[in-house]
Amino acid sequence: MQDDQRWRMLVDAIVDYAIYMLSPDGTITSWNRGAERFKGYTAEEIIGQHFSRFYTEEDRATGLPALALKTAETEGRFEREGWRMRKDGSRMWAHVIIDPVRDPAGRLVGFAKITRDMTERKAVQDSLRWSEQRFQLLVQGIRDYAIYMLGPDGRVTNWNTGAERLKGYTEQEIVGEHFSRFYTPEDRASGLPDRALAMAIREGRFEQEGWRVRKDGSRFRAHALLQPIYDEQGTLVGFGKITRDVTLQHEAQRALEEARAALFQSQKLETIGQLTGGIAHDFNNLLAVIVGNLDLLRKRLPEEGKARQLVENSLQGARRGASLTGRMLAFARRQELKVACVDVQDLVRGLAEMLQGSIGPTVTIETRFPLRIPPVLVDPGQLEAALLNLVVNARDAMPEGGAVTIAAQEQTVEKARPGTLPPGAYVCLSVTDEGEGMDEATLAKAVEPFFTTKGVGRGTGLGLSMIHGFAEQSGGRLVLKSRKGEGTRAEIWLPVAASEPGQAAQAEPGADELGPARRLTVLVVDDDPLVLMNTADMLEDLGHAVLEASSGEQALRVLARAGGVDLVITDQAMPGMLGTQLVAAIRAERPDLPVILATGYAEAPASRDATLPRLGKPFTQQDLARAMAAAINPGTEQNRVVRFRPRQT
């Protein structure tokens, strides 16, 4: 009896659990302080009442209280969580255990019921569950990133909609598969997937950008992040993987880098061109003195003799030097172009015999032209020289022989990028060989002046640079495509002409006829004293009076105080005042005074005045006389040499 009292005191002292007895029919027969605390009823209020009053109306309607007692009686235990009602009508989430109580004979005498208030824990669990659901909804709602889990062995354990959209696999298709199937065959062969897992474990993360493969076999550029996931005990449970498609950004970056490289190459060539043009200009002045003096000296020597031969050899060398400066000026885009409307197919057809004769019997030339190709606006002589140069280069690249293909096709540039052609219509004229080709380093320097892969004495290294400059000055572009061992394709892009062929300006004929002309007073303007003296000597040898000036300002002063000047011959590149500026100043005061512009290259836009006679440096006495004839008698006497009683020697 004393033990029963102690047990009763123990049960009654428990306040965190409701512990009470039920009769076999469910009537409450005892009540502890924990039950009073949870349910709100005192022992006097609740003993003798049926325990079903603690259930919700929904549970009573489904017969849950009776089911609970039946289950406890038949199965020896009933355990469940659910909503229960307090005295004040509020609900609590309860964990309930009902055990049957039997006498020594095994007869059921009632039930022991233990209830615990789990409301707070349920609230936490519900909050956590809702948080997990929201997180899952968030992950599943992301369509621009593939977010999924891998097991420790690298097999996919879950899959979001972004992964399905990006990779093409449904969750049913990919869960359980190894993530290495997303890698390219090359990456799998190199062991990259396994290295990625190992590095993620070792470094705490693995991040990389590379090519990945979709279900349909197509490739995309991916930025992938792989991180290991550990449980509370520090055991690796898998990996979290986030993948993003960065193909567009990759292509944009690649295009930007190509544009930067093209711009850098263009700027580099422009700088080299400026330097080359300046050197060629100064060299032309020296050649002008040499050619002019040799030309005058030759006239004073007998037709036969060693001295005459030496002078002739010197003149030939000077002309080769002039050709060299011409190529340098072509690279610098400062040579004089005689632009015309040209049918490239007719031009190539006319060159066929010369081209075949230049390359020998081991190389054949094939042409591929469409039925109709529009005309281009270009200097035909320069284009012929460029084609001949490219064909000879192609021959040299095929020492064992082969085929050279000359082709043309119409192309349209829709949108310009840095270092490329402006929008418009072009003809792409190409020369393709089957030769040795060039590596990237050689290709990058191929158009630089004096760079050559040929042996000593087999070229100046100015061929491609000349073509580059000619194409750029013509409003087009030289494009070289080559790979080592796969041949080379050289493309000259030229702008389509607005008019039809046949409108080319007639080349100025040679001056073979001598005729009488009046004695002229000529003002010669040049900042180089050697060129100035040489030009004056040639004019005086032709019988003309000469006035000299070393600058544009001095020339204007001479004209202001001297009367009877019949002709002005001026250099273009002079400090203080360009030749074209001097021409403009002279025409403002004396519009009828003939002026000849003597220059080594096309230096200024104003120098393209079609009405302004030009004299290219270096020039001979005959070139000078021809230019004077064209200036004094435009359109009628341009073929006659202006000469007045040559001095006797």
312 or 439, which is more confident? 439
Structure confidence at residue 465 as a pLDDT band (50, 70, 90): low
Distance CA 615, CA 592 (A): 19
**Residue 241 above 60 pLDDT?**
yes
State the architecture of 142-245 in CATH terms: 2-Layer Sandwich (3.30)
- Give the tens place of pLDDT for each residue, 303-313: 777 776 677 67
pLDDT at 514: 36
- Collect all residues with Cβ–Cβ distance below 8 Å to 328 and sequence separation of at least 6: 276, 277, 279, 280, 283, 449, 462, 465
CATH of domain 340-495: 3.30.565.10
Structure confidence at residue 456 as a pLDDT band (50, 70, 90): very low
388 or 170, which is more confident? 170
- Give the tens place of pLDDT for each residue, 115-167: 988 888 877 777 666 655 665 655 566 667 888 889 999 999 888 888 888 88
272 or 629, which is more confident? 629
**Mean pLDDT confidence for 563-577:** 87
Most confident of 7-16, 64-73, 528-537: 64-73
Structure confidence at residue 12 as a pLDDT band (50, 70, 90): low
Picking from 318, 254, 311, the residue whose alpha carbon sits closest to that of residue 285 is: 318
Distance CA 398, CA 154 (A): 54
Domain coordinates of the chain in residue numbers?
Answer: 2-118, 142-245, 263-331, 340-495, 513-643
- CB distance 412 to 470 below 8 Å: no
Distance CA 406, CA 171 (A): 56
Distance CA 613, CA 628 (A): 9
Lowest-pLDDT choice from 30-34, 65-69, 597-601, 614-618: 597-601
Task: Kindly give the pairing relationship between strand 614-616 and strand 595-599.
Answer: parallel
- Give the tens place of pLDDT for each residue, 154-205: 999 888 888 888 888 998 999 999 999 999 999 999 999 999 999 999 999 9
pLDDT at 601: 55
State the architecture of 2-118 in CATH terms: 2-Layer Sandwich (3.30)
pLDDT at 325: 58
pLDDT at 183: 93
**Residue 256 above 80 pLDDT?**
no
pTM of the predicted structure, to 2 decimals: 0.40
**Dihedral pair phi/psi, residue 329, rounded to 5°:** -70, -35
**Residue 463 above 60 pLDDT?**
no
**Residue 585 above 70 pLDDT?**
yes
pLDDT at 304: 72
State the architecture of 513-643 in CATH terms: 3-Layer(aba) Sandwich (3.40)
Distance CA 455, CA 595 (A): 46
> How many beta carbons lie within 10 A of that of residue 170, not counting itself?
13
**Residue 380 above 90 pLDDT?**
no
pLDDT at 603: 47
- Give the tens place of pLDDT for each residue, 76-113: 999 999 999 999 999 999 999 999 999 888 899 999 99
pLDDT at 5: 63
**Mean pLDDT confidence for 386-393:** 80
2-118 and 142-245 agree in CATH topology: yes
Picking from 212, 31, 5, the residue whose alpha carbon sits closest to that of residue 112 is: 31
Q: Determine whether 462 is exposed, middle or buried from the number of CB atoms within 10 Å of its CB (0-12, 13-18, 19+).
A: buried
Q: Determine whether 282 is exposed, middle or buried from the number of CB atoms within 10 Å of its CB (0-12, 13-18, 19+).
A: middle
> How many beta carbons lie within 10 A of that of residue 251, not counting itself?
11
Picking from 281, 330, 269, 280, the residue whose alpha carbon sits closest to that of residue 471 is: 330
- Collect all residues with Cβ–Cβ distance below 8 Å to 575 and sequence separation of at least 6: 527, 551
Q: State the virtual CA torsion across 523, 525, 529, 530 in degrees, nearest 10.
A: -80
pLDDT at 101: 92
Long-range CB pairs of 189-193 (<8 Å, 24+ gap) are 193/154
